[in-house]
Amino acid sequence: MSEDYTFVADAMKQGVPWVGTAGIDFIEVEGHRVLVELPDGEANRNHVGGPHAAVVFGAGETASGAVVLAAFSKHMDKATPLVARAEISYKRVATGVLRAEAVLGRPAADVIAELASGTRPEFPVHVTVTRSDGATTAEMVVTWTLRPNR
């Protein structure tokens, strides 16, 4: 039986108000992978007619946060997830609807084992942002940590 991750979209919209304001839709949510979609909108555009770089980054970072929530939701009583750093490479001009796919870069069990051993784990989430025609517009690595709750 597969795990139920339907809570992730609502939790993200409640916990991170920008997600709802931006209109991000959660298309697919699994324990190791999330796909979000950001509708095209005039208010998000830059000087060349595509989504502003910050909007592209925001969609990717949101997808990464959603996969972290899905992967580690059962452990939130022990730790708080935080972004440690992020790197983005813009590949092509983004246009139209954007999709951001985030994939957990380490097995969740390994991260939890590291947390249980008393260390503060870091782990990457790899994100690919594509535009309407399927072309990759950006690639990101968002490095997360689980800060132990005191």
- Look-up: residue for tokens 């730790």? 79
Does the pLDDT of residue 33 top 60, yes or no? yes
Does the pLDDT of residue 34 top 60, yes or no? yes
- Residues whose CB is less than 8 angstroms from the CB of residue 66 and which lie 6 or more positions away in sequence, other chains included: 8, 9, 12, 26, 29, 34, 36, 102
Does the pLDDT of residue 2 top 80, yes or no? no
Which pLDDT score, from 0 to 100, does residue 82 have?
A: 97
Rounded to the nearest integer, the mean pLDDT of the chain is 95
Q: Which of 113, 8, 18 is nearest to 71 (CA)?
A: 8
DSSP E strands: which ranges in 19-121?
Answer: 25-29, 33-38, 79-90, 98-104
Q: Per CATH, is 7-148 categorized as 3.40.50.20?
A: no
Rounded to whole angstroms, the Cα distance separating 33 from 143 reads 15
Which pLDDT score, from 0 to 100, does residue 142 have?
A: 98
Does the pLDDT of residue 119 top 70, yes or no? yes
Which pLDDT score, from 0 to 100, does residue 50 have?
A: 85
pLDDT-based confidence at residue 79 (cuts at 50, 70, 90): very high
Domain residue extents for the chain: 7-148
pLDDT in tens, 55-73: 999 999 999 999 999 999 9
